Structure 1
Amino acid sequence: MTASGEPITVSPVAGRRDLETFIRLPYRLLQDEPCWPPPLLFDVRNRLDRSKNPFFEHGEAEYFLARRGGEVVGRIAAIRNHLHEEVHKEKLGFFGWFDLINDEDVACSLLDTARQWAADRGLEALRGPVSFSLNDECGCLVDGFEHPATIMTPWNPPWYGALIEGAGFTKSKDLYSFALPVMEFGVERIGRIVERIKKREGARLRQFDPKQFSQEVARIEAIYNEAWTANWGFVPMTPAEFRHMAKELKPVLVPELAHFVEIEGRPVGFSLVLPDVNVILRKLKGRLFPFGIFRLLFGLKRVKRIRLMAMGVIREHHMKGLDSVLYLAAFEGARDLGKTFSELGWVLEDNAVMINTIERIGGHRYRTHRLYDAPTVRHGNSKGAH
């Protein structure tokens, strides 16, 4: 879609009113989309609050609004992650919190503004969308629009990708999500294999112990940051970030769906499956109070959808079949709780080992999110004015 003749202005968020406009924009633009789950407003406010989100201990961001004729038509966050620069030794910035009307000029104006912000700080390229890092919601949905977004995954209309590409961005990496009906997982067949693996490796499986919540979270943090070190784009989560995420997820944590695998009493792997709380969020329309809290608390047990959102085995125990031990535990727990649908992911498009494993247990790719890159110096004239 092309723009009207009125000029577009892009300006930083200034003050509480602008911030609230920034927060609420997707609720206006996407309110009629059945696959988009409106996040809780107070949760979004906390994530954007520089004093509350531990990302800002090593990162910075500027929020921008695009206006045409006095109407807000888009938003974007320009992001700098100093920890990413330190780990990967590259001058890379990020963009996220990207929502807008279907308009090429608006997209170019927003993305050019983020590019300039990054260039002013000596960064040479921009990647996104991420909100705020790969450890958060990330990627632009490019396939599987007909499927509802699951917990901690984004959803956007089909034309977002074309607008980003039209602004000069190219594909960086695809992130795959896989669907697997719980009852189609071959528990009995894989169970025999898993028993042999456990015996061979001297492995023991156990559930997450909620009575030792802080200690268990620390164990997951250690495994996660070690297991994922070699992954493309990965930046370790800081202890503060891990504690913050754990606190947010604690209300929806189900011990029967979170597991450790241990060898000689040492945790060497974990899996974390969460009920898809988005099923409930779509009914709350962003508001937890006054009655949404009851829907959330009493509705969780009835949610039939789950997402296996994280799994890791430390590198010295890779390729020993321990991932199969964790898959079996996750699906046995899901089956016993009456869950019917599972999503596994995301998985990097070139992680052949993980993709093959998921496909062997019956999963099929059903959604794809894409990350885009562009140099911060735009070659050619911008279509938008700002």
Structure 2
Amino acid sequence: MEMPDIRTVLSPRSSEAGDFIEFPKKLYRDCRFYVPWFDRGMQRLFARKSPFFRHSDGEFFVAYHGTTPVGRIALFENRNFNSYTGNRDARFYFFDTENDQHTADALFNLAANWARSRGLTRLIGPQGFSSMAGGGILIQGFDQPPAMTMMGYNYPYYQELLESAGFCKYKDFVSAFLDPRTYQTPEKISRVASIAMKRGGFDLPRIRSRRQMRSMALEIGRLYNESWMDHEEFAPLTEEELLELTNDLTLVIDPKLLQVIRKDGDLAGFVLTFPDLTNALIKAKGKLNPCTLWRILREKRSTRRVIINGLGIHPRYRNNGGTAILYYALEKSVQDLDREVVGADLTQVAETTGLMLADLETLGARIYKRHRVYNLSL
């Protein structure tokens, strides 16, 4: 089969930009689990309006056979991350293609040359702009819906395409299912949390309004920078990136689901729990208009599933009861809603976090999805 022609997305209004957005929708048109990004969000990336592009760089590409799109890929040089970690990585993201090794090889060859031209020594992905963005391709759990766009869905053949192109496993990230109807914090953890709260000056203040939630959004973002600094995928987000991230999160989170831990008035930890809007996002097909917005708001008010994607405790409090309080807050986040929650999806847990995985087992969570990040030495 002939090798595809690969073209760069040069502007948000170019035909290539439209094909980059529409290709995966056509590829997954018969798949009930695929959730596309909103078109406006993608166009914003093409226009380099994300604060990521203040310090880093990236390009978007579409593969064609004649005039027909057959694949796509985005490539990023996260200079903040490389500078912080000492790595020389190029990241790929938004990788989608038909089940054709020639197309996949052509996209990855372009990616390798793009990285080498910048003096980068490793190609890794799928990985987004930061550790908060879900990474990896799905390799287990194809009969399960995704967690909105946080941890995406792909066809099973993606794994073979990557491995046949020479990529090796870097790390797996798992998702675990928790049934809030039967979940109860183990007695030992509850006891430690109770003692820590009484003796250590910890508190779980109730978040009652969206205004109150917005007022502490940036504070939570800053704590994220402090609480995740010992993770391999971490690099501090800039103030502008934190502001964008927290603005996005406050659009979808329900104040009743947000749990924060304070220590003598200072923010010490958080649990970010989101109403699962996956079904509404699938029906939206990437379009944001009055009809799809109404569906999303209706789903937000009625969904009985939640997604937990963001737990953090300041390092100084991990060994004096803070972690136990975090798990107690996790229980409250799924039991304080004004309706019965029948499923909680805990996402993006690295397989290398042995203590966290042991804690999930203790909490009665069941691993049911797995995403894999791959890397290729250049």
* TM-score category of the 2 structures, normalised to the smaller one: over 0.9
Distance 1:249 1:111, change over 3 A: same
Q: Deviations over 1:6-34 (max 9, x none)?
A: 33222212342111111111111012111
Q: 1:109 aligns with which of 101, 106, 109?
A: 106
Give the Å deviation of 1:40: 2.4
Question: Hey, what's the Cα distance between the residues in 2 that align with 1:93 and 1:72?
Answer: 24
Which string of whole-angstrom CA distances, capped at 9 and with x for unpartnered residues, describes residues 302-328 of structure 1?
111111110111111113332332333
Question: Which of 322, 339, 342 is the equivalent residue of 1:340?
Answer: 342
1:63 maps to 60
Residue 35 (str. 1) matches residue 37 (str. 2)? no
CA contact (8 A) 1:135 1:237 kept: no
Q: Distance in 2 between matches of 1:372 and 1:187?
A: 35
The aligned length equals: 371
Q: Within 1, Cα distance between the matches of 2:113 and 2:58?
A: 13
Offset from partner CA, 1:156-186 (integer Å, 9 cap, x none): 1111111011111101111111111111211
Give 1:169's aligned residue.
167
Deviations 1:35-66 (A, max 9, x none): 1123322233224430x211111111111111
> C-alpha separation between the residues in 2 aligned to 1:271 and 1:291?
31
SS across alignment from 1:207: coil
**C-alpha displacement of 1:116:** 0.5
- Mapping of 1:350-365 within 5 angstroms? 350-365=352-367
- The residue type equivalent to 1:276 in the other structure is D
Q: Is the 8 A contact 1:258 1:330 kept in 2?
A: no
Which residue identity is paired with 2:130? S
What is the alpha-carbon distance in structure 1 between the residues aligned to residue 185 and residue 123 of structure 2?
44
Match of 2:372 in 1: 370
Query: Is 2:97 the partner of 1:100?
Result: yes
> The residue matched to 2:204 in structure 1 has which SS?
strand
Aligned partner letter, 2:314: I
SS of alignment partner, residue 186 of structure 1: coil
CA distance in 2, matches of 1:14, 1:69: 19
Matched, 1:77 2:79: no
Give the superposition deviation at 1:188: 8.1
Partner secondary structure for residue 354 of structure 1: helix
Partner of 2:231: 231
- Deviations along 1:244-300, one digit per CA (max 9) or x if unpaired, are 122222222211211211121111111111111112112222222241111111221
**Shift of residue 214, structure 1, vs aligned partner:** 4.8
Query: What is the alpha-carbon distance in structure 2 between the residues aligned to residue 177 and residue 319 of structure 1?
Result: 25
Q: What is the Cα-based RMSD across aligned positions, in Å? A: 1.8
Gaps (5+ residues) in structure 2? none
Aligned to 1:328: 328
TM-score by length of 2: 0.93
How far, CA to CA, are the matches of 1:33 and 1:101 in structure 2? 14
Cα distance in 1 for residues equivalent to 2:84 and 2:139? 29
- Matches of 2:309 and 2:86 in 1, distance apart? 28
Moved over 3 A (4+): 187-193, 207-210, 212-215
CA contact (8 A) 1:187 1:332 kept: no
The letter for the 2-side match of 1:135 is: M
| Aligned match for 2:3, one of 3, 7, 11 | 7
TM-score normalised to structure 1 length:
0.91
Following superposition, the deviation at residue 230 of structure 1 comes to 0.8
Are positions 1:156 and 2:154 aligned together?
yes
